[in-house]
Amino acid sequence: MPPKKLLVFFSIFLLNFSFVLSNNMNFDFTSFNLRNITLLGDSYLRNGVIGLTRELGVPASSSGSLIYNNPVPFFDQETNTTASFTSRFSFSINNVNPSSFGDGLAFFISPDNQILGSAGGCLGLVNSSQLTKNKFVAIEFDTRLDPHFDDPDENHIGLDIDSLESIKTADPILQGIDLKSGNVITAWIDYKNDLRMLKVFMSYSNLKPVTPLLKVNIDLSGYLKGNMYVGFSASTEGSTELHMIQSWSFQTSGFRPVRPKLHPHNVSDSSVVVETDFPTSNSTNKHHNKIGLGLGIAGPAFFCVVLAVFGYISIKKWKNMRTGICLRADLVPGPREFSYRELRSATRGFHSNRILGRGAFGNVYKAYFASSGSVAAVKRSKHSHEGKTEFLAELSIIACLRHKNLVQLLGWCAEKGELLLVYEYMPNGSLDRMLYQDSENGVLLSWYHRLNIVVGLASALTYLHQECEQQVIHRDIKASNIMLDANFNARLESSFTLTAGTMGYLAPEYLQYGTATEKTDVFSYGVVVLEVACGRRPIERETEGHKMVNLVDWVWGLYAEGRIIEAADKRLNGAFNEDEMKRLLLVGLSCANPDSSARPSMRRVFQILNNEAEPLVVPKLKPCLTFSSVSLTLEDIVSEDEESD
């Protein structure tokens, strides 16, 4: 065979091979991390398990979703084929209070990757005010009888299409399965498009039963169009039911590759077939045997060459990485490694006119990448790196964080003895600059934006404290570490081991013992809340005289006198809802309580701000705490802090 034809042969082979791989999709989570999934609503990740609803006190409600990030192709236009699919997952439904149960969970397929419905009987699939808005194919695992959706009982599964009124239901008790038992249950959902058949199997073990629990003759090709998203949702209403997803695998099948054919008159034809006449003479057969032998040798040789080239490139890249500081090899695939040269060019040699701000970590520069036309913020460490091990260990954790109210880490660089971090660029800068700038020359944050900021920050801290695979204590929550995106949404910046906190935001027990906990973060959050509501810094000097005024003490004093509303930022000129302002100020005081045991969790704060839980009772007089060692006055602390700067 001539070299050109041999090359065509291998090209066609590789094209066919890649085509087959690209059509059918599969993934398998034996345990979960945050790399390929999105969590919405109240869902959270803990110890490799996804919780879809939270442990709340009755009569609170909860709903949450888990969605696989990548869309799944269910329809192939080339062959007009709808995919078959199978999904296997293990879950448990448990009740903290045995007498409190409902409402259940659902596996769904939807064109929407932001599907998060209402709590209660809506199973997190639909909104109670717009029951027909969301489109989906779902298998529900229902633990409450809801007459509104024509439920048969409080322990059933069902097939739902664009509605929570099931097309067909089945009772798991028939196979000895109680959905609310708290035991781990494994479910298999199989759909065969050629048979127009959907089956659901369930078992307490990992062995798939022979007989399906639910069997439905149905054609889903009209609903599985194009790319769709797969996931789970769950909800509760006035109950303590917990819905946990332990593991999950999913795969599609049934797509047949379009066989390429070589057409002599139309080389642009997308389908190519190699047409060859094979003579039957012995001499020709021998010739073909030689060709076959040649292909048998050339084929493996070709792939060996490819592997060798790939190996060479990989080793070269590995050696280049080793020339810098050795970052952990398992750092999340999302953030990329930038070269020092690339960041130096993007910041014009770290020019002073590119400085956006200065912090404990170092200077922050505005970076413009000419190749992509994108803008980012680059933090350049000013520290020597004796604590490099702790820093890099924490960087690997921060790289895993994904939340809409966190500033996203885009990449890193570890060269020339420096550590540089690349973050999203926030066009509205930091909260403190926006909050304290001259209102005549800048933008005054409206009451709507202020509420949105504190709610977003509460959501981010709830995620860090209780929903991450590994809990993160921020340690330096303050207005200058809260960035504002183009829509004035709060985006909390990540903190590192090097950070020791900032005076005015530090909890009393942290000043005394130097130990950071969830509750020290809550205290700092409370100070920020009061800043946002009052438009005053945590520590200020009086207008007349030199006495220092602590914001928490000042607001608590007004509260004790029944005049807490007077703490509101005067620049708002009364343009706020008075009840909302009072609630926000009381949230700030309850978080900034000197007694750490009396402070709420961030989850509770988030619920209060969303009117999902009652506010805590705040004592009229600020509690006093005493420590064994000598305590410093406010003036002493501030003067020491100023000298250290």
Give the β-pairing of 336-337 and 409-415: parallel
Across the range 207-220, mean pLDDT stands at 94
* Cα 239 from chain centroid (whole Å): 26
HSE-up (13 A, CA, CB side) for residue 26: 15
Report d(CA 158, CA 140) in Å as an integer. Answer: 5
Domain coordinates in residue numbering, the chain: 25-253, 279-322, 336-424, 431-644
In Å, how far are 197, 324, 345 from 419, measured between CA atoms?
Answer: 56, 10, 16
Q: Looking at the domain that runs over 25-253, which CATH code has it been given?
A: 2.60.120.200
Report d(CA 47, CA 49) in Å as an integer. Answer: 6
* Cα 411 from chain centroid (whole Å): 17
Identical fold, 336-424 and 431-644: no
Convert the pLDDT of each residue in 245-269 to its tens digit: 999 999 998 876 544 444 443 333 3
* Paired strand residues for 411: 336, 422
**pLDDT band of 282, cuts 50, 70, 90:** very low
Across the range 546-575, mean pLDDT stands at 93
Give the β-pairing of 374-381 and 409-415: unpaired
Q: Looking at the domain that runs over 431-644, which CATH code has it been given?
A: 1.10.510.10
At 90, list the tokens: 């293990």
Report d(CA 143, CA 153) in Å as an integer. Answer: 8
**Is the distance from CB of 513 to CB of 548 less than 8 angstroms?**
no
How confident is the model at residue 492, as a pLDDT?
94
Q: Is 153 a catalytic residue?
A: no
Largest distance between two CA atoms of the chain:
112
3-state secondary structure of 80: coil
- Per the annotation, binding residues are 379
CA-nearest of 6, 71, 67, 73 to 32 is 67
**pLDDT band of 390, cuts 50, 70, 90:** low
Residue 305 burial by Cβ neighbours in a 10 Å radius (0-12, 13-18, 19+): exposed
At 388, list the tokens: 């490099």
Has residue 272 got a pLDDT over 70?
no
**Range with the largest mean pLDDT of 110-114, 291-295, 582-586, 632-636:** 582-586
Residue in 151, 476, 521, 569 annotated catalytic: 476
- Per the annotation, binding residues for ATP are 379
Q: pLDDT above 70 covers what percent of the chain?
A: 74
**Is the distance from CB of 411 to CB of 336 less than 8 angstroms?**
yes
End-to-end CA distance of the chain: 77
Q: pLDDT above 90 covers what percent of the chain?
A: 40
Has residue 479 got a pLDDT over 50?
yes
According to CATH, the topology of domain 336-424 is Phosphorylase Kinase; domain 1 (3.30.200)
Which three-class secondary structure string do you get for 18-75?
HHHHHHCCEEEECCCCCCCEEEEECCEEECCEEECCCCCCCCCEEEEEEEECCCEECE
Give the β-pairing of 61-68 and 214-217: unpaired
Report d(CA 378, CA 596) in Å as an integer. Answer: 36
Has residue 74 got a pLDDT over 70?
yes
